[in-house]
Amino acid sequence: MSLTCWKCGASLEALSLPLRRLDECKQCGAELHVCKLCEWYSTSVAKHCREPIAEEVRDKERANFCDYFKPRPNAYSNAAQSAAERAKAELDSLFGGSSRPADTPEPSAAERARAELDALFKKK
């Protein structure tokens, strides 16, 4: 089984092992020497690490210096992202938020201000 990015699922075959601390996914730019790509990562245990003597890493999505890091091929999981998207859609429907697609960038402050002014003066 080939190694894939923990964040987007893109193939990491072009990278040589062992992964360097600053390696990034060519597709999404995610850092790769992270807990979420590690064989020891598990949300079912304390500190989300099954390695009992590893130092705790607080941000599981940022590059770290863990000596026990070993990349795992099945690190990408679309289920967590779809659950988060469902939760956001439910919150948006409950509180009247915008239901923009996940791949659409967040509008800038200037764009939001322009949209509010247009809505205030009924400009379409």
Three-class SS state of 41: strand
Question: What's the mean pLDDT in 73-87?
Answer: 72
Residue 106 lies in a domain: yes
Q: What is the pLDDT of residues 11-40, one digit of tens each?
A: 888 888 888 888 888 888 899 999 999 999
* Count of structural domains, the chain: 1
Q: Single out the residue of 60, 55, 65 nearest to residue 20, CA to CA.
A: 65
What pLDDT, on the 0 to 100 scale, is given for residue 89? 76
Measure the CA–CA gap between 48 and 59, rounded to whole angstroms.
11
Average predicted confidence (pLDDT) for the chain: 83
Tell me if 107 is assigned to some domain: yes
What distance in Å separates the CA atoms of residue 39 and residue 101, rounded to the nearest whole number? 32
Residue 108 lies in a domain: yes
Q: Is 114 among the domain residues?
A: yes
Instruction: Quote the domain boundaries for residue 97.
Output: 79-120
Q: Does 88 reside within a domain? A: yes
